[in-house]
Amino acid sequence: MGFDRPFDRISWQTEGTSSRRGFTLIEVAIVMIILGLLLGLGAELLPMLVKQSKLKDNRMLVKEARTAIIGYAHATGRLPYASANVNGSQTAGRLSGYLPWATLGITGRDPYSTTLYYAIDSHLANTTSVAQFKQRLGDLISGTLSPDLFCDGTTIRAAFIVVSAGENLRANTPNDDNNNGRIDVNDNNRFASPSSVITATYDDILEAVSLTYLYGLIP
Ligand SMILES: [Ca+2]
Ligand SMILES: [Ca+2]
Ligand SMILES: [Ca+2]
């Protein structure tokens, strides 16, 4: 039958190969060792890649929040107040706490499912026009008014900051001062440098907008 011919040929060819034999135990062992190494490598690499990817997403999220807040200032002539709770609606008069993400209309949770934190200079949430807002920034820069939000000791005079608690799920010193893992009204007005490196004890992601930078952005 015509069907049989190809099979006949294959079997003839394999039978005709003089080196045809089974794998030796050593060959199987070598393959198993290589497979084991590859699997082990994968098991180690995968969590590392997930970790790196979350960190990257988180940095982007905090940057986006920063951009949204600048947009809010442009549109309303003031910064939003912080939110007293995770629902993200600004709480009148609140200078530090949760990001008012619902007020801003953005995502409020970082890739680790912790709500972002936010703090502002006290002079910048009660203005009523863009012109007054710009004037207020100018007064803070010139020293007519005293700034009250700082990063990196007192190096950066900030208009506002946005912070993710990072992978360890806790805001760390100097962002959290009373060791409750959150940024709230009980913490002081000094925060870490935005360029702080991640260590075993500090893994917060912080973005700050300085008074002078924001002044330059407001028409
Ligand atoms: Ca942290
Ligand atoms: Ca502090
Ligand atoms: Ca705290």
Query: Is residue 167 domain-resident?
Result: yes
* Number of structural domains in the chain: 1
Distance 113 CA to ligand 2 centre (A): 23
Task: Kindly state the percentage of the chain with pLDDT values over 70.
Answer: 91
Residue 168 covered by a domain = yes
- The ligand whose atoms approach the alpha carbon of 161 most closely is 2
The number of angstroms, rounded, from the C-alpha of 63 to the middle of its chain's C-alpha atoms is: 8
Q: Could you tell me if 65 and 104 are in contact, meaning their C-beta atoms sit under 8 angstroms apart?
A: yes
Helix, strand or coil, per DSSP, at residue 65: helix
- pLDDT tens-digit series, residues 91-124: 999 999 999 999 999 999 999 999 999 999 999 9
CA of 214 to the centre of ligand 3 (A): 26
Residue 129 has, within 13 A of its CA and on its CB side, a CA count of 3
104, part of any domain:
yes
Structural domain includes residue 10 = no
Preceding amide of 100 cis, omega within 30: no
Smallest CA-to-CA distance from 80 within 57, 101, 54 is with 101
Whole-number Å distance, alpha carbon 96 to ligand 2 midpoint, is 11
Question: Could you list the residue range(s) of the whole structural domain that residue 68 is in?
Answer: 59-217
Confidence at residue 44, expressed as pLDDT on a 0 to 100 scale: 84
Residues ≥6 apart with Cβ < 8 Å to 120 = 79, 81, 82, 95, 96, 149, 159, 160
Query: Is residue 13 situated within a structural domain?
Result: no
Domain annotation covers residue 94: yes
Q: Please state, as a whole number, how many other Cβ atoms lie within 10 Å of the Cβ of residue 73.
A: 25
Average of per-residue pLDDT across 123-139 = 98
User: Does 12 reside within a domain?
Assistant: no
Q: Is 196 domain-assigned? A: yes
73 backbone φψ class: left, alpha, beta (φ>0; ψ -120 to 50): alpha
pLDDT tens for residues 150-209?
A: 999 999 999 999 999 999 999 999 999 999 999 999 999 999 999 999 999 999 999 999
Q: Whole-angstrom Cα distance, residue 111 to residue 55? A: 8
Q: What is the full DSSP assignment across 174-214? A: TT-SSSSSS--TTS-SEE--TTPPP-SS---EEEEEEHHHH
Averaged pLDDT, 77-100: 98
Q: For residue 80, what are the CA distances in angstroms to 4, 32, 137, 203?
A: 81, 60, 15, 26
Residue found under tokens 């935005």: 194
Neighbours of ion ligand 1 (CB under 5 A): 165-166, 168, 170, 172, 203-204
